[in-house]
Amino acid sequence: MTFNKKLKLSAVTLACSLFFGCGSDSNKTTNVVKPDVETVTKEVLPGEIYAGDAFELSNSSVKYLSALDSLLFTVEVMGDAASVAPKAIGKVDGAPVLGYVFVTDLLPSDVGYVDVEGIVALAITSHPDFDDTPLWNEDNNERYDDDGIIYHSHWVILEENNLATGGLAVVQASTSSKLTPTSPMPMYLDSPGFSVIEKGNELHVIVPMDRIKRKTKFETSTLTGYLEVELKKGSSPLLKLERVYTELTGPFTVENDHLVPKNSVPEISFDEAPDSFEIIDTSVDYISEVDSFVFTMDTLSQPAVSAPQPIGKVDGAPVFGYVFPTSIPPENVGFKDIDHATLALVVTTHPDFDDTEFWDENGDNDYENDGKVYHSHWVALVPDVNSDAGLSVPSQADKSKRPPTAQMPMYLDSPGFHIFVQGNKLNVVVPAQRINKLTGFKFNGITAEMNVDASGALPVLRVNNVLDNLAGDLSTPYSVSEKVLADY
Ligand SMILES: [Ca+2]
Ligand SMILES: [Ca+2]
Ligand SMILES: [Ca+2]
Ligand SMILES: [Ca+2]
């Protein structure tokens, strides 16, 4: 704690001393012709060719949005935010990285890093020489390994490092480090897949409250900077802050923090709660300001309160689910060779097993004990006479037919979408980018009991009992509504 505070302060001091350099430097550079690469001399600061109004900060904020139960991190710049990418150099060693960085006083454990001290920062970066988001396909081109240039989100843990001209670097990991499952490299850098929204001179990042252990009492400052990767034989890669273009020291606190509920979902018991599965209404709102959908199921009593009794094994394991069948093509979420299926967003509980190896829904930093907590899946549903209700989620052993977040050998993905309950409404936040930027589709609302069938060579999830079905059949009659944040 003291260490963190001290480090934060020294980082700010360090940043400030840089800013005097940078502040006057950026005043000088924004209005002058950028030097040609050929004429760059030793006196020129690192990343000089990228300095300009796209990195000239004018404002910043962090605001709680009830509509998404998430924090909206925002920076405003003088130019077009996230419009400048570094020039590729064709290799990772020395690769340039440009970033918009929210420096926070959150603890590393708040973002899942339990064995490290340092400064927690949310960094939005671009680096065309490498992809460090193996789970995500930011440019929606079916490939997960070619997205480095698209501005994307990271958690990083920073520490002082005199190898960096800017004085700070991402903490390197050792073989014994406990990194989060979404850390792609041996360093304290996480690729959480948060939505990044570019709107003119504004850049936004949406961070669901559960991904920061619902912390609201923290402060941020904001900087834009130039970073570089250094690869040395025998040590893990180093990501160094080489240059700060501008900084807003704030500190910025969380706006609307008084609206943040203590928990996203209710306590779950094994008691039966039939009214919690009786559907009154269902809706999907598209909110263009945050380029996100909110799927909602409105139930007779508070939803997501009841889990099935565990049976102690996976074969036959009971699953309760709130199911949104949709008209979204399965390929839009990375399911291949199953065009005929109905893609459904499902919110499930199943105390016998955890199928979210990348996610820690109960927030205890253990990624393998969350099955009981209601969580989100994409599933492809097909007719199946061997299931009591005539539908199942079929198996698929070939990884190339599933998105990287679908780890079980079946058409079931664990995308990590945020779930939250408000009153009698169960909500799921789905970024439009994650359904291939589709904005219109049809849907229905169903509640059901399912079971894992692991008796064959590969598992199948069987829908065995439909509890309620708003449309009454397998159609998807309802349409997406357009909403604005002010509607909530
Ligand atoms: Ca990627
Ligand atoms: Ca891609
Ligand atoms: Ca998990
Ligand atoms: Ca957990």
Is position 120 within any domain?
yes
What's the CA-to-centroid distance between 288 and ligand 3, angstroms? 30
What per-residue confidence (pLDDT) applies to 38?
A: 54
User: How many structural domains comprise the chain?
Assistant: 2
Q: 204 and 112, same structural domain? A: yes
What's the CA-to-centroid distance between 133 and ligand 2, angstroms? 9
What's the CA-to-centroid distance between 360 and ligand 3, angstroms? 5
Is position 290 within any domain?
yes
Is position 431 within any domain?
yes
What's the CA-to-centroid distance between 267 and ligand 3, angstroms? 17
Considering every ligand atom, which ligand is closest to the CA of 376? 3
Report the relative pairing of strands 70-77 and 57-65 from DSSP bridges.
Answer: antiparallel
Considering every ligand atom, which ligand is closest to the CA of 366? 4
Q: 46 and 88, same structural domain? A: yes
**Which residues, other chains included, contact 137 with Cβ-Cβ below 8 Å and sequence gap of 6+?**
143, 144, 147, 334, 403
Residue with the two structure tokens 């989060």: 180
d(CA 409, CA 106): 37
d(CA 317, CA 308): 9
What's the CA-to-centroid distance between 214 and ligand 1, angstroms? 27
Q: Domain end: 259, 290, 305, which one?
A: 259
Considering every ligand atom, which ligand is closest to the CA of 354? 3
Q: 317 and 176, same structural domain? A: no
What's the CA-to-centroid distance between 377 and ligand 4, angstroms? 17
What's the CA-to-centroid distance between 73 and ligand 4, angstroms? 25
Structure tokens at 33: 């012709």
d(CA 67, CA 74): 17
What's the CA-to-centroid distance between 140 and ligand 2, angstroms? 6
Q: 206 and 328, same structural domain? A: no
Q: 344 and 293, same structural domain? A: yes
Structure tokens at 370: 């969350």
What's the CA-to-centroid distance between 137 and ligand 2, angstroms? 4
d(CA 252, CA 71): 13
In 328-369, which ranges are E strands? Answer: 342-349
Please state, as a whole number, how many other Cβ atoms lie within 10 Å of the Cβ of residue 487: 10
Which residue in 265, 381, 288 sits closest to 328, CA to CA?
381
Can you name the residues that pair with 330 across neighbouring β-strands? none
Q: Domain end: 231, 259, 287, which one?
A: 259
Structure tokens at 252: 């910025």
Residues with CB under 5 A from ligand 3 (ion): 354, 356, 359, 367, 370
Is position 265 within any domain?
no
Q: 206 and 289, same structural domain? A: no
Q: What are phi and psi of 7, to 5 degrees?
A: -65, -40
Is position 63 within any domain?
yes
What's the CA-to-centroid distance between 361 and ligand 3, angstroms? 6
What's the CA-to-centroid distance between 141 and ligand 2, angstroms? 5
What per-residue confidence (pLDDT) applies to 130?
A: 98
Q: 443 and 368, same structural domain? A: yes
Q: 160 and 132, same structural domain? A: yes
* Helices H / strands E in the chain, number of each: 1, 25
The 10s digit of each residue's pLDDT in 31-74 is 444 445 555 555 689 999 999 999 999 999 999 999 999 999 99
Q: 228 and 106, same structural domain? A: yes
Its domain, for residue 121, covers 2-259
Q: 318 and 200, same structural domain? A: no
Q: 285 and 237, same structural domain? A: no
Count of alpha carbons within 13 Å of 199, Cβ hemisphere only? 13
Can you name the residues that pair with 347 across neighbouring β-strands? 322, 376
Q: 208 and 96, same structural domain? A: yes
Per-residue pLDDT of the chain (488 residues; tens, 9 = 90+): 333 444 444 444 444 443 333 333 333 333 444 445 555 555 689 999 999 999 999 999 999 999 999 999 999 999 999 999 999 999 999 999 999 999 999 999 999 999 999 999 999 999 999 999 999 999 999 999 999 999 999 999 999 999 999 999 999 999 999 999 999 999 999 999 999 999 999 999 999 999 999 999 999 999 999 999 999 988 899 999 999 999 999 999 999 999 999 999 999 999 999 999 999 999 999 999 999 999 999 999 999 999 999 999 999 999 999 999 999 999 999 999 999 999 999 999 999 999 999 999 999 999 999 999 999 999 999 999 999 999 999 999 999 999 999 999 999 999 999 999 999 999 999 999 999 999 899 999 999 999 999 999 999 999 999 999 999 999 999 999 999 999 99
d(CA 451, CA 442): 26
Please give the distance of CA 325 from its chain centroid, rounded to a whole number.
23
What's the CA-to-centroid distance between 136 and ligand 1, angstroms? 4
Q: Domain end: 206, 233, 259, which one?
A: 259
What per-residue confidence (pLDDT) applies to 39?
A: 52
What's the CA-to-centroid distance between 358 and ligand 4, angstroms? 10
Structure tokens at 73: 């991190």
What's the CA-to-centroid distance between 370 and ligand 4, angstroms? 5
Considering every ligand atom, which ligand is closest to the CA of 363? 4
